[in-house]
Amino acid sequence: MAKLATVAAKRQHMTVILENVHDRHNIGAVMRTCDAVGIQELHVLYTEKHLQERHLEDVKSTSTGVRKWLDIYFHTDVEACMKVVNSKYDLILGTHLSTESKDLYDLDLTQRVALLFGNEHQGISEAALAYCDGNFTIPQFGMVGSLNISVACAVTLYEAARQRKEAGNYAVGEELTAVQKQLYERYIKIHTSRYTER
């Protein structure tokens, strides 16, 4: 119970959007990283018809152990997805190389921020980029110049976690807030349901 309360208290006002990511194992890895840094919700956006047909149900039923602890939202329309995200977060930042892109380590990731990652081949679509408030790149010093999507997400989220820890965002108060308490109660139901089912 103490662990559930602590996790609820350390959840961050930050999210990830994955656009047309092909490999469900990459999505599973991103789920684990989101949970590890205190992200409660993840947005999975499939605008490509063949991906919707092949992967949407597959991802929904993924067996990764962390799946049950997260709120995962599935979208098939860019505008609808971004409308939901914009209602909760102040900034959408995308991993995209352009003349205006910033270095990851120059960003302020202590804000209410959504981080957008594109798929393994084309990256972020032009339609999704139109909703971004800024772009960033992860500095690299090797020959290849690219990272696996789940690795890129992990590097980015742990930089955000570092900044948020320094800012005191992971500090736990003496009592849970109303939102944290609601989340804690949900966690208890999820936890106890495992034993009820047995």
Q: Supply the CATH number for residue 73's domain.
A: 3.40.1280.10
Please state the φ and ψ torsions of residue 134, each to the nearest 5 degrees.
Answer: 180, 165
Average pLDDT, stretch 101-117?
A: 96
Residue 113, strand partner residues: 14, 91
| pLDDT band at residue 48 under the 50/70/90 scheme | confident
| % pLDDT > 90, the chain | 70
Name the residue range of residue 125's domain: 2-191
Domain count, the chain: 1
Domain contains 196: no
For the cut 80, the answer to whether the pLDDT of residue 171 exceeds it is yes
Q: Provide the 3-class DSSP secondary structure of residue 134.
A: strand
**pLDDT at 51 (0 to 100):** 64
Give me the residue label for tokens 């990511």: 21
Domain contains 198: no
Domain contains 109: yes
Quote helix, strand, coil % in the chain, to nearest 5: 45, 20, 35
Tens of pLDDT, residue by residue over 67-97, are 899 999 999 999 999 999 999 999 999 998 7
Query: What does pTM read for this prediction?
Result: 0.90
| pLDDT band at residue 122 under the 50/70/90 scheme | confident
